[in-house]
Amino acid sequence: MSLMSEDADPSEQHAAARPAAANAQQSRVTFNRLELHRILNLYGRMVADGEWRDYAIDFLKDRAVFSVYRRASEVPIYRIEKDPRLARKQGMYSVISATGLILRRGHELERVLLVIDRKLAVV
């Protein structure tokens, strides 16, 4: 049983509900296309080398996290985080080890990823 009148268009009800869902989605921090491209390029090279096997991406309200796993059942060996609240301070990007130690933090993702990108770091 529907409480909707016969004249009402059901698509209009769904359209009215969409802006609320869109606002909730916009309040989350995400990686943009270029950031994700750079991270996934590094991930692909490390998978090809046999060092990494799995990853997870979390888009939270205050930060975005790309977690890298050696095996799927372990804790992440690295977390690449983007926290916009730190953009004017130490930099919004950071690489965090499995123990919670911040390996590098900075304003540019390329430079922050150098701490784990052995191919570019060994020149």
Task: Identify the CA nearest to 66 among candidates 52, 56, 54, 76.
Answer: 56
Mean of all residue pLDDT scores within the chain: 79
**3-class state of residue 84 by DSSP:** helix
pLDDT tier at 118, thresholds 50, 70, 90: low
pLDDT of residue 68: 92
Task: Identify the CA nearest to 77 among candidates 50, 97, 51.
Answer: 97
User: 10 Å Cβ neighbour count for 41?
Assistant: 12
pLDDT of residue 8: 53
Residue 99 has pLDDT above 50, yes or no: yes
Residue 24 has pLDDT above 60, yes or no: no
Q: Any bridge partners for residue 55, and if so which?
A: 68
**What's this model's pTM, rounded to 2 decimal places?**
0.71
